[in-house]
Structure 1
Amino acid sequence: MSYGARVWDENGNLIMDTTTFTYQVIWQGVVDFSGTVGTYTFNIPDFNPANCVFMIIPTRAQDVQSSETDGLGNSKSYPYVTTSVGQVVVRFRNPSSSAGTIGSRIVAKGYAIRYST
């Protein structure tokens, strides 16, 4: 018996097959910008941007922007993420932004995921 999921496109071509595609969560933790922390640096062994991704998922309903015209859009925006081998840096705003730019104030769960085919 095989396990996994398969997805076909509109032409019947197999485009994803998790019976041959695997992934592994190699790190998970809280990313909390609700206080005074402006930057998190996570040293994650085996993280490599060539075969890993870093995702952020908000954990509080108040951190989800209700519409594009939401006046608190910047404070509900996703943080700025940079990756390198063995490390992920998450900042509450783009480092090239002016000092007066409002940064993210979300509380989220972060995941580092390694994948292979």
Structure 2
Amino acid sequence: MGKILTVDDSVSMRSMVSFTLREQGHEVDEAENGQEGLDKASADHYDLVISDVNMPVMDGIELIKRLRANEKYRFTPILMLTTESGLDKKQEGKAAGATGWIVKPFDPAKLTAVVSKVLK
């Protein structure tokens, strides 16, 4: 199982993601904005990062860019879990280095399937 960091300014969304992934046996840490996520990622190492796009302090796109600039996260899967479904935002996320894009509200079965796929 993997060590996962979930970054979202919504307490309820972080809780749902964490609960879903912990039930699958993953270790999950949480951060409430991109800067906190970056700080945690820099202090530790995660097998996967799941981030919202729209957050205060630092958004998810900037978080991806900064993680990808860090050698230890160059090839780490990063999933965007967001209400943003527009093609422009998806392309911006992909250009920044996002591995995948999941639109909220998420289906727990789909989330666990995607997580299993990217952690193999």
Give the TM-score band, short-chain normalised: under 0.3
Q: Greater strand percent: which structure?
A: 1
| TM-score of the two chains, using structure 2 as the length reference | 0.22
Higher helix share: 2
Structure with the greater alpha carbon radius of gyration:
1
Task: Normalising by structure 1, report the TM-score.
Answer: 0.22
